[in-house]
Amino acid sequence: MTTFKTKTITIGLALGVAVVTLTGPVQADVNAPLAALGPPPIPLDNKQTPEKIELGKLLFFDTRLSGDASVACSTCHEPKQGWGFSGDISRGYPGTIHWRNSQTVVNSAYYGKLFWAGSAKSLEGQAPSAARGGVAGNLERDIGTARLAFIPEYRKRFKDVFGDEWPKIKNAWRAIAAFERTMVQTDTPFDKYMKGDKSALSEEAVRGKGIFEGKANCIECHNGALFSDQQYYNLGVPRAETWLDNGLAQITFRFEQYAKGVTQKMYRSIKDDAGFYYRTKQVDDKGKFRTPSLRYTLYTAPYMHNGTFFDLQEVVEFYNEGGGTNEFSANKTDLIKPLNLSEDEITDLVAFLESLSGDEIKMSSPKLPPYAPLPNPVK
Partner 1 sequence: MTRRFPELVSLGGVLNIGMAMAIIVSFVFYSSDAPAHESGPVKAIKVDAKKAALGKRLFFDKRISGDSSISCASCHIPEKGFSDGMALSKAYPGSEGFRNTPTLINTAHKAAWFHDGRLGTNLNDVTREQLTEDYVMNMDMRIMQERAKQDPVYVQMFKDAGYGEPSNGSIRKAIPEYLKTLTSRGAPFDKGTMSDAAKRGAKVFHEKRCGSCHAGTRFSDDKPHNTAVPNNPDIWSDPMRHHTYVAFGLFMGIENIYNIRRDVGAHVRTHKVNGTDVGKFMTPTLRELKYTAPYMHNGTMKTLAEVVAFYNKGGGSDVNKSRAMRPLGMSGEQQADLVAYLEALSGDPLTGAEHVWKDAIPANYTAISDWLKTPN
* Contact positions vs ligand HEC (CB under 6 A): 71, 73, 75-77, 90-93, 98, 100, 102-103, 105, 108, 111, 114-116, 123, 126-127, 130-131, 136-137, 176, 180, 216-218, 220-222, 233, 235, 237, 289, 291-292, 294, 297, 300, 303-305, 312, 315-316, 319, 333, 335-336, 349, 353
Q: Which is nearer to ligand HEC, 345 or 375 (CB)?
A: 345
Minimum gap (Å) between residue 71 Cβ and partner 1: 9
Interaction partner, residue 269 (partner 1, ligand HEC, none; CB < 5-8 Å by kind): partner 1
| Binding residue for partner 1, selected from 134, 210, 324, 369, defined by CB under 8 A | 134
Please tell me what DSSP assigns to residue 151: -
371 binds partner 1 (CB under 8 A): yes
| Binding residue for partner 1, selected from 101, 257, 297, 331, defined by CB under 8 A | 257
Report d(CA 352, CA 378) in Å as an integer.
63
Minimum gap (Å) between residue 135 Cβ and ligand HEC: 7
CA distances from 38 to 180, 185, 191 (A): 15, 9, 9
Minimum gap (Å) between residue 168 Cβ and partner 1: 11
326 binds partner 1 (CB under 8 A): no
Please tell me what DSSP assigns to residue 83: T
Angle at 348 between CA 105 and CA 8, to 5 degrees: 40
Interaction partner, residue 126 (ligand HEC, partner 1, none; CB < 5-8 Å by kind): ligand HEC
Q: Within 10 Å of residue 17's Cβ, how many Cβ atoms?
A: 18
Report d(CA 58, CA 171) in Å as an integer.
13
Q: Which is nearer to partner 1, 257 or 291 (CB)?
A: 257
CA distances from 287 to 198, 210, 261, 291, 305 (A): 40, 29, 16, 12, 10
Is the preceding omega at residue 302 within 30 degrees of 0, hence cis? Answer: yes
Residue 202: CB partners within 8 Å, gap ≥ 6? 351, 355
CB of 319 closer than 8 Å to CB of 312: no
Output the CA torsion sign for 256, 14, 209, 83. Answer: negative
Interaction partner, residue 138 (ligand HEC, partner 1, none; CB < 5-8 Å by kind): partner 1
Interaction partner, residue 61 (partner 1, ligand HEC, none; CB < 5-8 Å by kind): none
Among the candidate windows 106-114, 141-149, 200-208, 335-343, which touches partner 1 by CB under 8 A? Answer: 141-149
Q: Which is nearer to partner 1, 73 or 218 (CB)?
A: 73
User: Residue 97, SS3?
Assistant: strand
R_g of the chain computed on alpha carbons? 21
Q: Within 10 Å of residue 334's Cβ, how many Cβ atoms?
A: 7
Q: Across the chain, where does the E strand assignment appear?
A: 232-233, 289-290
In b/e form, how buried is each residue of 289-312, taking b as 16+ CB within 10 angstroms?
bbbbbbbbbbbbbbbbbbbbbeeb
Q: Could you give the string, one character per residue 331-360, with x where binding to partner 1 holds by CB under 8 A and - elsewhere?
A: ------------------------------
- What single letter denotes the amino acid at residue 328? F
Among the candidate windows 29-37, 88-96, 197-205, 347-355, which touches partner 1 by CB under 8 A? Answer: 88-96
Interaction partner, residue 127 (ligand HEC, partner 1, none; CB < 5-8 Å by kind): ligand HEC
Question: 6, 92, 2, 105: which is closest to 57 by C-alpha?
Answer: 105
Q: Which is nearer to partner 1, 168 or 281 (CB)?
A: 168
299 binds partner 1 (CB under 8 A): no
Q: Which is nearer to partner 1, 107 or 242 (CB)?
A: 242
Minimum gap (Å) between residue 379 Cβ and ligand HEC: 25
Using CA atoms of 283, 119, 224, 50 in order, give the dihedral in degrees to the nearest 10.
Answer: 180
Interface residues toward partner 1, by CB under 8 A: 64, 66-70, 93-96, 134-135, 138-140, 142-143, 145-147, 149-150, 166, 243-248, 250-255, 257-259, 267-271, 371-374, 376-378
